[in-house]
């Protein structure tokens, strides 16, 4: 069980960091509008030049590979609910790194998610 928590912690941390990096990268773009296929290609090339998007995508891909390994080791019914920790990390990173404001409802949601994970693991 201890290794399960370690790997889920690593997985959710990588996934949350990738989301923050993608948000930082998108913030550097002038806005995304797609009206024709040519604009999709332009967006892809612009995104590939953005280090935040590039690194965030690499982390997202690595988290997928780690998820496959975790699924091979543990039961899905146990590990999937634990991925809710990603929401906690994203909320905290958004507040501290992106300067996003949080309301009391956000804090309550974090507490409920953490409690849910605790009760899932409690025997």
- Give the Cα separation of 32 and 86 in Å (integer): 26
Residue 1 has what pLDDT?
62
Residue 29 has what pLDDT?
83
Residue 58 has what pLDDT?
95
Phi-psi region of 83 (alpha: psi -120 to 50; beta: other; left: phi over 0): alpha
Per the structure, the complete domain to which residue 94 belongs is given by 2-121
Contact 33, 39 (CB under 8 A): yes
The beta strand positions in the chain, using DSSP E, are none
- Give the Cα separation of 71 and 49 in Å (integer): 33
Nearest to 74 by CA among 15, 122, 121: 121
pLDDT tens series, the chain, 123 aa? 668 889 999 999 999 999 999 999 999 887 777 888 888 888 888 888 999 999 999 999 999 999 999 999 999 988 998 898 898 899 989 999 999 998 999 889 888 888 887 887 776
Residue 110 has what pLDDT?
87
Beta-carbon count within 10 A of 100 CB: 13
- pTM to 2 decimals? 0.85
Residue 123 has what pLDDT?
64
Nearest to 43 by CA among 66, 18, 25: 25
* Count of domains forming the chain: 1
> Helix axis angle, 2-28 relative to 85-97, nearest 10°?
40
């Amino acid at each position: 069980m201890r290794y399960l928590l370690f790997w889920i912690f690593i997985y959710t941390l990588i996934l949350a960091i990738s989301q923050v990096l993608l948000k930082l990268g998108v913030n550097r773009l002038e806005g995304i509008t797609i009206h024709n296929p040519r604009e999709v290609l332009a967006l892809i090339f612009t995104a590939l030049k953005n280090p935040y998007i590039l690194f965030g995508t690499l982390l997202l891909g690595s988290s997928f590979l780690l998820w496959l390994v975790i699924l091979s080791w543990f039961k899905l019914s146990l590990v999937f609910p634990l991925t809710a920790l990603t929401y906690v990390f994203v909320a905290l990173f958004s507040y501290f790194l992106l300067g996003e404001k949080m309301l009391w409802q956000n804090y309550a949601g974090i507490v409920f998610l953490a409690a849910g994970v605790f009760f899932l693991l409690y025997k």
